[in-house]
Amino acid sequence: MRLLVTGGAGFIGSNFVRHWAREHPNDHVVVYDALTYAGNRASLAGFEGLDFVHADICDFETVDRTLREQRIDVVVHFAAESHNSRATLDPGLFFRTNVIGTQTLLEAARRNEVRRFHHISTCEVYGEMALDAPDPFKEDSPYRPRTPYSASKAGADHAVRAYAETFGLPVTITNCANNYGPYQFPEKLVALCATRALDDRPLPLYSSLGNKREWLHVSDHCKAIEAVLLKGRIGDTYLVGSGVEATIEEMADLVLDAAGKPATLKEIVKDRPGHDTRYLLDSAKLRTELGWAPEIPLRLGIAETVAWFGANRSWWEPLLEKASVDEHAWANGGTGPVVR
């Protein structure tokens, strides 16, 4: 099999590339990445033999040429702008990359008759649920995105399904819970808390400390995508979740405990606009039909993640200068994050 992995130098994409290269050594993987602030060639260290295309997914000519010349069978589409705080600053960038970029890839995939286009999406397209809501989101739950990020991902999902219905493009979609693990850019909650705790710096936590998320180790996510690629039904959507929820404060406490740091490092900052209360996915379809199940318990996964960041300062310390969103701005009376 010959795969094109978009966003393959990003967090989940690079973990997927590593997983696939280990488990399917006879397959050929091409990484396609624009290397924006969150893309890092160092995340693929040890796999330098992979073909790498440094380009924008909105560049149709390059996408089309790459699919044709590399004789790609399967596109695995991770590339996206994904940080909600940045989306508040520059929503246009998110719609350009996540919607127009996805449509560009779909059109090139259609013209080159790829055998599968797999799209990685998010739980956030379904909007928020109440903290006491009894039922999780299901594959057929209505879309109610509330932020520029989640709306742009919802638009991408609709484009994927439109290309399947209109042109017969063989697609699958996975919507995943919040991921954590190694190689995560230090702007998302776990990576941010881990890197700050290791340096004895304050952990900025939004004032809505009771907001919940479902947490999934990136390794389990990669195995879920593998299961869908190998056994999933064309045209179907699968929700990928652990079923394990924790509040923002509980996650910070787990990180501090793993790092051996005091709770006094927690610092409350003003909440951001459109901060969803809770997400929870029903992953029964994925588990029942494809035999997938998460393997890494949350406490163990957080401990291993913190240990990874502690052992890999050379990977994340240079990235701190690229962390362009100052989460403290919410606490300083501003209307949004400040670009450093």
Q: What percent of the chain has pLDDT over 90?
A: 84
- β-pair type (325-326, 338-339): antiparallel
Residue 224 located in a structural domain: yes
Residue 189 located in a structural domain: no
Residue 87 located in a structural domain: yes
Residue 290 located in a structural domain: no
Residue 131 exposure: Cα atoms within 13 Å on the Cβ side: 9
Residue 155 located in a structural domain: yes
How would residue 118 be classed by pLDDT, with cut points 50, 70 and 90?
very high
| Residue 273, pLDDT score | 77
Mean predicted confidence (pLDDT) in 176-204: 96
Task: Work out how many domains the chain is built from and give that number.
Answer: 1
- β-pair type (51-54, 171-176): unpaired
Helix (H) and strand (E) counts in the chain:
12, 14
pTM above 0.85?
A: yes
Residue 136 located in a structural domain: yes
- Residue 138 reports pLDDT greater than 90: yes
**pLDDT tens-place string over residues 58-101:** 999 999 999 999 999 999 999 999 887 888 889 999 999 999 99
Mean predicted confidence (pLDDT) in 28-51: 92
Residue 272 located in a structural domain: no
| Residue 325, pLDDT score | 60
Nearest to 294 by CA among 240, 242, 243: 242
- Residue 5 reports pLDDT greater than 60: yes
What's the rounded Cα separation, in Å, for the pair 8 and 19? 12
Mean pLDDT, the chain, rounded, equals 93
Mean predicted confidence (pLDDT) in 298-313: 98
Question: Which domain, by its residues, includes 220?
Answer: 2-180+215-240
Mean predicted confidence (pLDDT) in 323-340: 45
Beta bridge partners of 11: none
| Residue 326, pLDDT score | 58
Residue 311 burial (10 A CB sphere; 0-12, 13-18, 19+): exposed
Q: In what order do the strands lie in the sheet with 171-176?
A: 51-54, 28-33, 2-6, 74-77, 116-122, 171-176, 237-240
- Cα dist from 123 to 158, 206, 282, whole Å: 14, 20, 10
| Residue 107, pLDDT score | 98
How would residue 22 be classed by pLDDT, with cut points 50, 70 and 90?
very high
Assign residue 65 the CATH number of its domain: 3.40.50.720
| Residue 339, pLDDT score | 31
Residue 10 located in a structural domain: yes
Residue 200 burial (10 A CB sphere; 0-12, 13-18, 19+): exposed
- Residue showing tokens 């779909």: 106
How would residue 163 be classed by pLDDT, with cut points 50, 70 and 90?
very high
More confident residue, 244 or 37: 244
